[in-house]
Amino acid sequence: MPRIPLVDVFVLVWFVVCWAGYALFAWRRSGTQASLVVAMRIYRRHWFKRMLGNDNRIGDIAALNSLLSSSTFFASTSLLILGGLVALLGTTERVIDVVENLPFTRHDSELVWHIKIILMIGVFIYAFFKFTWSIRQFNFCAVLIGAAPKSDGPDDHEDFVDAIVSVASFSEEAFNHGLRAFYFALAVLSWFLHPWLFVLASALVVYVLYRREFHSKALFALTNPNSVTHVFRLPERMMAELRLGERPASWRKNWLDRE
């Protein structure tokens, strides 16, 4: 029975560490530092507070549908890719012959190739479930918009605003995780060429995700004091709540006590 080379075991573990480690890092870092997740949660709150004062909410539903279409597109794309990958399992020998003729590639056994393809399948199954869960939660948001009470003051119905902001943020978070899976799937592609290229590609994906989430120009525009966020004039405790999002209540209380 063919054995899996240690280098392939190492790069596979490295990939899992990069993905899971960055997910945990981003979740914790968003509690103490401005990020795109934090910034968009602030804007969503302002959006839904203004929505309560609208008699006609067609524009709000249209904006929600534009977000929903992105999740729908990626969910459909994930299914198409999964179909291609499952078909690829039956033609592994032909694919090996093609790839081994490329420069800088390494000869691998059919078992290793099956592991690579199964990993890709697992990544896109994960992405599909995340995108479809995002779709369902966006549908929940549409129902909440339809059920939203009419408000005459900006601070009315805060509980309802909290509910719809949380559901919308959970939906966006699921979409973000699905999109992150696409990024790491690109890293897995490099494994078909060489395992050490896979190591480099995984680290590069982490770097790109970190830069875009915490140091991008988009984040600067969203959080610049001279931008529209300055007009919101949110209290610091509310900013802390928005940063923490869905953190457990005990963890949130400890963090707020440090303010």
Cα separation of 211 and 197, whole Å?
21
Neighbouring residues of 34: CB distance < 8 A, sequence distance ≥ 6 = 214, 219, 223, 243
* 33 DSSP assignment: S
Region of residue 143 (phi > 0: left; psi between -120 and 50: alpha; otherwise: beta):
alpha
Q: Is 227 helix (H, G, I), strand (E, B) or coil?
A: coil
**pLDDT on residue 258:** 41
Q: Enter the tokens of residue 14.
A: 């490295």
**pLDDT recorded at residue 248:** 41
State the CB neighbour count (10 A cutoff) for residue 54.
14
Q: 171, 138 in Cβ contact below 8 A? A: yes
Which one, of 174, 151, 173, lies nearest residue 48 by Cα? 151
* Secondary structure tally for the chain: helices H, strands E: 11, 0
Residue corresponding to tokens 């999109």: 179
Distance from C-alpha of 85 to C-alpha of 168, rounded to nearest angstrom: 32
- Longest Cα pair distance anywhere in the chain, in angstroms? 73
Q: What pLDDT shows up at residue 74?
A: 96
Give me the amino acid identity at 81: I
| Residues present in the chain in total | 259
Q: What distance lies between CA 187 and its chain's CA centroid?
A: 16
Percent helix, strand and coil across the chain, each to the nearest 5: 80, 0, 20
Distance CA 45, CA 151 (A): 14
Distance, in Å, from the CA atom of 179 to the CA atom of 71, rounded to the nearest integer, reads: 9
Please give the structure tokens belonging to residue 98: 């093609």
What does pLDDT average to in each consecutive run of 10 residues of the chain (259 residues)? 81 96 91 82 86 83 90 96 89 69 69 89 97 95 87 75 90 95 95 90 96 87 60 53 48 43
| Element spanning 56, H or E | none
Q: How far is CA 157 from CA 52, 118, 151, 240, in A?
A: 9, 48, 7, 20
DSSP category for residue 105: -
